[in-house]
Amino acid sequence: MAFELTDSNFKEKVMDHEGIAVVDFWAEWCGPCRMIGPHIEEMAKEYDGKALIAKVNVDSNPEISYKYGVRSIPTVLYLKNGEVVDKQVGATSKKVLSDKLDAILA
């Protein structure tokens, strides 16, 4: 299952994390978010030990959403050693999400 991030644990788990983190910014009421949610959960299992796959509920965690300028959801950020290296805005296929992560891991 994807790791649940909050405003209070984001720095420790992502900013200070050495390695790759994929963070899905979502909300319960967001239809497109519910479309990619299963992709994120599958990736959490498939990339276990290779990358941190996590989710941020924008309604519960406005600080971190604001910090990264998340205005549209779903937004998926790809971070390497705490720095954003890629992002995906809007619903997309699991292949697109995985391909971006594979390119960063390569």
Catalytic center residues: 30, 33
The closest alpha carbon to 74, from 100, 54, 92, 95, belongs to 92
The percent of the chain in helix, strand and coil, each rounded to the nearest 5, is 40, 25, 35
Which residues, listed in sequence order, are joined to residue 20 by a DSSP beta bridge? 80
What is the separation, in whole angstroms, between the first and last Cα of the chain?
A: 24
For residue 29 the two structure tokens come to 């009421």
